[in-house]
């Protein structure tokens, strides 16, 4: 599934200087710091990590704070994301018609399996968790909306790339880190293509991961009438409840049924 590049990921050849507003790119770079750091930051820390001069950072932070996208602790004078950003998430989720149609199916899958269920989408070379229904178990894989993972080594990324144009697949593979390629087990693009062929043929992908505990990630694509993958349904389980064979036998049929019912 192809996506347009974000401003921070575009090359000079992509950008039309007549339309591109560099100051907005810098302001967004400030906001994106809080996505990756997941903590409050001082003005000095923002300046250092964004690579922007102090005067410009002060203006961006002041404006974002006044608009409600950043909050400020009056005691420590440190900044964090403001509650207003939640409106952007609400608008994004509300605008995903496929997700809206699938929501009741995903809730049912979560209830019947008792495991972590997510709707994910392809974002450039990564997959992003758009919505999540947590596991009922005390010990479980914990995912949250907004979390991102490299696409080539994630089960959701593999099922989405299996239905993506060749240039999207090539871009995702070229941009992958050595760690992601090692986890994938493919050293070349043709080898990765063979993995995607198998995923597309069987209708799902399975990968293993290590969060706080070892886990198995299962994903199936949600296809529109034209065969385009508009999202993926993901089931994430701990290996202390399911080994690979058990996950394939017990969970894959329910996963594929849910993905097909979400169309």
Whether residue 96 is contained in a domain is answered as: yes
What is the SS3 assignment for 181? Answer: helix
d(C-alpha 28, C-alpha 64), whole Å: 10
- pLDDT, tens digit, 9 for 90 and up, residues 189-203: 999 999 999 999 999
Q: How far apart are CA 204 and CA 39, in angstroms?
A: 35
73 in the same domain as 98: no
User: 83, 117, 145 — which closes off a domain?
Assistant: 83
Q: Do 129 and 219 touch, CB atoms closer than 8 A?
A: no
Cβ burial 69-88 (10 Å sphere, 16+ → b, else e): bbbbeeeeebbebbeebeee
Q: What is the CATH number of the domain that holds 152?
A: 3.30.450.40
Of 145 and 235, the one with more pLDDT: 235
* Strands 116-123 and 126-133, sheet pairing: antiparallel
Place 38 in a pLDDT band, splitting at 50, 70 and 90: low
Q: Is pLDDT of 213 > 70? A: no
Assess if residue 34 is contained within a domain. Answer: yes
Q: How far apart are CA 158 and CA 197, in angstroms?
A: 10
Q: 93 and 35: one domain?
A: no
Residue 106 CA to residue 236 CA, distance in Å, equals 13
Average pLDDT, the chain: 88
Between residues 15 and 255, the one the model is more confident about: 255
Place of tokens 């602790």: 73
pLDDT value at position 18? Answer: 85
CA separation for the pair 168, 157 (Å, rounded) = 11
Distance between CA atoms of 248 and 204, rounded to whole angstroms? 10
Contacts 24+ apart (CB under 8 A), 7-11: 8/32, 9/124
Q: What is the model's pLDDT at position 210?
A: 58
| 10-43 burial code (b ≥16 CB/10 A, e <16) | eeeeeeeeeeeeeeeebbebbbebbeeeeebbeb
Q: Are residues 65 and 191 in the same domain?
A: no
CATH code of the domain covering residue 70: 1.10.10.10
Q: Are 167 and 240 found together in one domain? A: yes
Give residue-wise pLDDT tens across range 215-248.
999 999 999 888 899 999 999 999 999 999 999 9
**For residue 1, is pLDDT > 70?**
no
pTM score: 0.78
CA distance 219 to 205: 5
Question: Whose CA is closest to 135, among 229, 208, 216, 231?
Answer: 216
């Amino acid at each position: 599934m192809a996506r347009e590049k974000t401003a921070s990921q575009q090359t000079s050849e992509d950008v039309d200087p007549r339309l591109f507003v560099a100051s907005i790119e810098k302001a967004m770079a400030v906001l994106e710091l809080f996505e990756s750091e997941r903590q409050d930051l001082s003005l000095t820390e923002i300046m250092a990590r964004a690579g922007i001069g102090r005067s410009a950072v002060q203006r961006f932070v002041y404006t974002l704070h006044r608009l409600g996208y950043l909050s400020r602790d009056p005691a420590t004078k440190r900044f964090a994301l403001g509650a207003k950003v939640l409106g952007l998430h609400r608008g994004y989720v509300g605008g995903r018609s496929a997700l809206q149609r699938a929501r009741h199916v995903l809730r049912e899958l979560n209830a019947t399996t008792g495991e972590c269920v997510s709707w994910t989408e392809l974002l450039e070379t990564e997959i992003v968790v758009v919505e999540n229904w947590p596991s009922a178990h005390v010990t479980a894989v914990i995912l949250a909306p907004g979390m991102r993972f490299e696409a080539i080594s994630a089960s959701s990324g593999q099922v989405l790339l299996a239905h993506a144009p060749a240039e999207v697949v090539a871009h995702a593979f070229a941009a992958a880190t050595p760690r992601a390629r090692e986890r994938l087990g493919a050293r070349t693009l043709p080898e990765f293509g063979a993995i995607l062929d198998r995923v597309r043929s069987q209708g799902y992908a399975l990968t293993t991961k290590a969060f706080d505990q070892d886990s198995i990630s299962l994903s199936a694509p949600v296809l529109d009438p034209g065969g385009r993958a508009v999202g993926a349904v993901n089931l994430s389980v701990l290996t202390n409840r399911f080994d690979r064979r058990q996950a394939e036998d017990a969970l894959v049929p329910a996963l594929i049924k849910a993905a097909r019912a979400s169309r």
